[in-house]
Structure formats: structure tokens, C-alpha cells
Amino acid sequence: MADRAWELPAAGGNVLDRWPDIAATVAPHLPDHVQAVAFHPETGQLDLRPASPAYATQLRLISARIVAAVNEAVGTDAVSVVQVLPVDAAAAPWTEPAAPAPPPDAPQTPVKTRETASPGFHRALAAHQAAAPGRTVDPSITQSLERQTAAVRELSRRAFPEREVAADDQPALIEAARFQRLRAADASHAAAFRRARAE
């Protein structure tokens, strides 16, 4: 079915056949008051006819839930929109669009290919290929790309600098400052604890 692109029409038939079960998963009272009339696979439209204007309003409010329930039931994204029909209307059944018929007086001619083309076509093709310029890369574009790449690398280096290590294997200045702050915080905690114990 997938190889022959029959999935969507088959899913549409499945939707119409299984509508009572699908509708019951959305709301238990829907199968008795809403009828699935048609499915249009080329647009993904499901036509529903409610029994009353109140149900028409409810269908419009829960149309997203209906689309999700139908697609989950059939296992594809066949339905994309729900069309709520008037209470007394019937949807026109979907029909395969007819292929345009060739004019009756059109002569049946063989399809022309490059091998069977006229000598004039071959001369024009040769002239075009001789006059077509070869592909060259503009040097200004190459230089612009190189400048852009260098600028991006520089911005990346500034935004994410590598951790510096001092020559004598000591932590870098940032690490040393962080260590000092931690020691000062520990010292203030210890002093506060001693004061609280003394009091």
C-alpha cells in the first residue's frame, strides 16, 4: 500500500468505518449524535454531520481532540482538519479527479529524445555549450568566507576562554581568587560558630 501511495485513501476508509469507536474515545455520547460523512485524502479533511446545532458547536470546540484521536486510531497523520457540516447537509462524496482527455484530433506522435532530436536542436545545443562560461569561484567570496570564519572563531575564543594555568603549575588567577573567597567564607562561618558557642 505504501509503495502504491494507497495509504491515505485506505486510512480514510478506515476512519469512516471505525468512526463510532473513535468518537466514543473522544466522548461517549458522540457516536449517537455525530456521523462521519466523508473523508478527503487529498486535503486531509474529515466531514462530520451533527444531529443538532448544539453538537455542531461542541464539535468545533473539540475538533483538535477529534483529529488527534482519529490519527492515533488509524496510525497515520491522515486527518488534518475537521469540517462540521450544517445539521441537515450531506457532504459530497469524494471522487478521484478525472484526468484531462487528449483532444480527439491530436495526432499520436512519438516522444522526442535528445537522440532523436532534429539536427537544428543539436547545433543549438553545441553552440550553447560552447558559449556557456566555465564555473569559477569569485576570489572576493572566498576571502569573505575566510574573514567570517576567523571572526566566528575569535568570538568563540572570547566567549569560552580556555582555563589558564600558571607557569609554576599553580592555579590560575581566577582559581586563586575563588579559593580565597571560599577560605574567607569558611573563616567567617567558624568565627560565627565560636561567637554563638560563647554566647
pLDDT of the residue at 72: 87
Statement: residue 99 has pLDDT above 80: no
The pLDDT assigned to 19 comes to: 86
Give pLDDT, residue 116: 81
**pLDDT digits over 32-83, tens only?**
888 888 888 888 899 999 988 888 888 889 989 998 988 888 888 888 899 9
Residue from 146, 36, 27, 31 nearest 90 by CA: 36
Answer left, alpha or beta for residue 75, where phi above 0 means left and psi between -120 and 50 means alpha: left
- Please give the average per-residue pLDDT across 92-103, as a whole number: 57
pLDDT digits (tens, 9 = 90+) for 131-148: 866 666 778 888 888 999
- Asked if residue 162 lies in contact with residue 154, where contact means CB atoms within 8 angstroms, the answer is no
Residue 118: how many CB atoms within 10 A of its CB? 9
60-to-10, 49, 55, 115, 169 alpha-carbon distances in Å: 25, 12, 9, 59, 71
Under DSSP, is residue 165 helix (H, G, I), strand (E, B) or coil? strand
pLDDT tens readout for residues 7-38: 545 555 677 888 888 888 888 888 888 888 88
The answer to whether the beta carbons of residues 67 and 79 sit under 8 Å apart is: yes
How big is the chain by its Cα radius of gyration, in Å?
Answer: 37
The whole-angstrom separation of Cα 92 and Cα 47 is: 9
Q: What is the pLDDT of residue 104?
A: 63
User: Where do the domains of the chain lie, and which CATH numbers do they carry?
Assistant: 7-84 (3.30.300), 162-199 (no CATH)
CB 5, CB 13: distance < 8 Å: no
What integer pLDDT is reported at residue 16 of this predicted model? Answer: 84
> What is the rounded distance in angstroms from the CA atom of residue 106 to the CA atom of residue 33?
54
Quote the pTM value. 0.41
Residue 124 has pLDDT above 60, yes or no: yes
77: nearest Cα among 15, 35, 133: 15
Banded model confidence at residue 2, pLDDT cuts 50, 70, 90: low
| pLDDT tens-digit series, residues 175-195 | 777 788 888 888 888 888 888
